[in-house]
Structure 1
């Protein structure tokens, strides 16, 4: 067997089959390119679901990690460390907010937000104990913990994990009327993705997000924005909500916050909201560790230049212009997205999203399918226009489009 076949066979034999990876075994990566165990190079148009916004092995992030590795990597929150205050202060400033609660993974940030909203509802809003409700959108993807899958509408994510956690109301994404009708005096929060990534990079109708903001203010309900995939430059703005001129009560951040180097997530909000916690009421051994803070501080510094947001805007305009030319020719039905992020609905007659992804793999381009014949394109923000065009040429080739 080849090195690739041997590695895949071993993984299949000894790891749980909770993923179905494409048959490639990556050994190294740099920028927007990955190299497999047999020396073949592939253009990465997935970027770790936006965790690698700044590319593989970004020198600034690697240098920050190396420097911190030689000093201290973990203290736990039992003690202060010398990177923590700067991280919290600078992330709060980036978000134009006041307080940060650091965690590790995106799902942990969402779980923390759920706990925060409920505690705020009881202590500040005055909701009767045990009665707090959080409204979410259908087709959401916020993670895979038992609480989070309790309000998923995806059968694959939800089936066989009951009994499910109560306290959530699901309404159609983009439907303000349904959201308004679902609200009661016990509603403490609305939790939304400004763009639904796993659902196929769904951008809500114009006016929807400002409408959510207005409605939540009117009803004294928290607007929680899950910007774990959409945030930190991906859409051409630091946060996807900026395109709509909306500021939520709470940002949930992750993925790109760790630069693809270490897992870093955070809940960012006001003192009034995050101030509901007291010592011992919530925590994480690794949350806000020195290594995570060092890398995230460099991410924040890079975002402050505006360079990556500008690249996502310019290259994103080019990406969507080129993809738009494929619509209507029988190969591509719809293209959605914003910035360097696109969901492409391939004509089902040409194959499933998985099959299209496999054909692109054979042409040395890496993408990921979702839901039927949809593929997602989300390259690192450092990709060159030439490399992006090379990848688009391979897509046209696979789709037999001139």
Structure 2
């Protein structure tokens, strides 16, 4: 039996085989969760919509945590990829592709002028490690790194050195750097951590993503940057989720008028076509690194081969953001979405605790993980995809609403209408029900697969 999809609806037996293949060869837990959800298999996507193989259309407010910034299958980005594929999709190591020169020239127009040295990587985690190497070269006498609680900078072993989520980091300790963890949004805690001038760098998301989604107090990022400057500490801004207009500015540090020493950005950079990331360094950081007695240029180079296809896609996506004034669009229409989420929170405080957000980086802070799951499932039944935090262990996860910046006012209103129906339905369910489901969610990986499928009324079997 083949697992290939076609435009016609996939039969249940075909889906069973697809799930079995995933369970045997990829991730048994993920396969089980997909089987329990009984959702259609995604087949195609266009602009703000994802279309399942059975023809069901979903408005995508998940956006793979911010990847599909310029819309699914953006024609401009697609054409750039195809043109590069027809010409020179890759060049031998040690040579410089014209697409890379084009991207670098474009980045020089959107980044602060001091951030003029660029290192490419294939993922956000990889460029986080590039930044970490730069920090240790530029500040060789300092080993401490300050991070924020809940911060996320990737899950490769080197990037885990910077992870503010102990549940992911602790199984692999001891790791490299000496971590100092401070509460997110607390500038005084940062100043205290930097006081003895033993910290090499502060790694910070200008808006905290992860399972939390926290917008810091106004001036917080400025206070952190000033504390770094006063103590000779490098400030690394992780804009992997917030870059290219997501928050209503091209980069989120602009809300506080901050220019970091190092900036990281990825996710939205190619519009979802091919992963790529950029570590942008100031010339001063590079000059400091070059004074290290063991410095060699290869120590700041990317560790993997970035294809010309991804570089061309990145340049096209940046141009789409600029020409479409998408950052300005997020600043203009973002409040329409967030104000609706805030109003929903105030109307339904039984299960919703907050509606954090800025621009088109928004969400609902839920009473417990099962509330997040139930809202996500019911919204899906109304044809809306939302961004599940995928974290059942924290008490109050945030269900994300990260639409493409091309979303329309009518589509925003459709989301809010479906949300109102969903929360009204949820209000009729007792809290003890969501408490019980949360208890199960936190133990789901230890439950027999057959029981998980029975409890979810799934038609599938865990035959892997």
Aligned to 1:394: 418
Q: How does 1:104-115 map to 2 (within 5 A)?
A: 104-115=122-133
Q: 1:281-292 residue pairs with structure 2 within 5 A?
A: 281-284=299-302, 286-292=304-310
SS at match of 1:369: coil
Q: Is the 8 A contact 2:70 2:321 kept in 1?
A: no
Q: Which of 355, 374, 381 matches 2:374?
A: 355
**Distance in 1, Cα, partners of 2:310 & 2:152:** 24
Q: Which of 30, 43, 52 is the aligned partner of 2:46? A: 30
Cα distance in 1 between the residues matched to 2:86 and 2:192: 55
> Is the deviation greater in 25-34 or in 389-398?
389-398
Deviation at 1:285, TM superposition (A): 6.2
User: Which runs of 4 or more aligned residues in structure 1 lie more than 6 Å from their structure 2 counterparts after TM superposition?
Assistant: none
C-alpha displacement at 1:76, in angstroms?
A: 4.8
Per the TM alignment, residue 106 of structure 1 is displaced from its structure 2 partner at its CA by 0.5
By how many angstroms is 1:4 displaced? 4.1
Report the Cα offset of residue 115 of structure 1.
0.6
Q: CA deviation at 1:94?
A: 1.2
Distance in 2, Cα, partners of 1:304 & 1:159: 41
Tell me if the contact between 1:140 and 1:199 (Cα under 8 Å) persists in the aligned partners: no
The answer as to 2:81 corresponding to 1:65 is yes
Structure 1 position 338 matched with structure 2 position 358: yes
- Give the number of the structure whose residues are more often helix, by fraction: 2
Q: Residues 363 and 159 of structure 1: is their aligned pair in 2 closer, same or farther, counting only changes over 3 Å?
A: farther
The match for 2:283 among 271, 285, 305 is 271
Tell me which of 149, 165, 169 is aligned to 1:138.
Answer: 149
Structure 1 residues 166 and 251: CA distance shift in structure 2, 3 A: closer
- The C-alpha deviation readout for 1:81-124, integer Å capped at 9, x for no partner, is 222222223213311221111111001111111111111112xx
| TM-score under structure 1 length normalisation | 0.91
2:311 is matched with 293
Stretch of structure 1 that moved more, 40-49 or 163-172: 163-172
Task: State which of 6, 15, 20 in structure 1 corresponds to 2:26.
Answer: 15
| Equivalent residues of 1:352, 1:374 under 8 A apart | no
| Structure 1: distance between partners of 2:16 and 2:371 | 24
Aligned alpha-carbon RMSD (Å): 2.2
Aligned equivalents of 1:307 and 1:142: distance in 2? 28
What is the CA–CA distance in structure 2 between the aligned matches of 1:166 and 1:246, rounded to whole Å? 26
Distance in 2 between residues matched to 1:7 and 1:243, nearest whole Å = 45
Determine the structure 1 residue equivalent to 2:158. Answer: 147
Q: What does 1:141-290 correspond to in 2, within 5 Å?
A: 141-183=152-194, 184-275=196-287, 276=289, 278-284=296-302, 286-290=304-308
Q: Say which is worse superposed, 43-52 or 9-18, in terms of deviation.
A: 9-18
CA separation of 1:215 and 1:306: change in aligned 2, threshold 3 A: farther
Name the CA distance, whole Å, in 2 between partners of 1:111 and 1:327. 38
Q: How many residues align?
A: 394
User: Mean Cα displacement is larger for which, 33-42 or 57-66?
Assistant: 33-42
The answer on whether the counterparts of 1:84 and 1:289 sit within 8 Å (CA) in structure 2 is no
Radius of gyration: which is bigger? 2
Structure 2 regions of 5+ residues with no counterpart?
1-11, 291-295, 428-464
| Displacement of 1:387 | 1.5
Find 1:45's aligned residue among 49, 61, 68.
61
TM-score, normalisation: structure 2: 0.80
Measure the CA separation in 2 of the matches of 1:70 and 1:391: 40
Query: Is it true that 1:75 corresponds to 2:86 in the alignment?
Result: no
Q: Answer whether contact 2:22 2:28 (CA < 8 A) is retained.
A: no
Asked if the contact 2:127/2:277 (under 8 Å) is kept, the reply is yes
Distance across 2 between alignment mates of 1:189 and 1:373:
28
For residues 356-395 of structure 1, the aligned pairs below 5 Å read 356-370=375-389, 371=394, 372-395=396-419
Query: CA, structure 1 residues 337+139, in 2 after alignment: closer, same or farther (shift >3 Å)?
Result: same
Q: Give, in angstroms, the shift of residue 174 of structure 1.
A: 1.2
After TM superposition, give the deviation of residue 396 of structure 1 in Å: 1.2
Distance 1:198 1:240 in 2: 16
Q: Is this contact kept in 2: 1:236–1:312, CA < 8 A?
A: yes
Partner residue, 2:4: none
Please give the secondary structure, in 2, of the residue aligned with 1:355. Answer: helix
| Deviation of 1:10 (Å) | 2.8
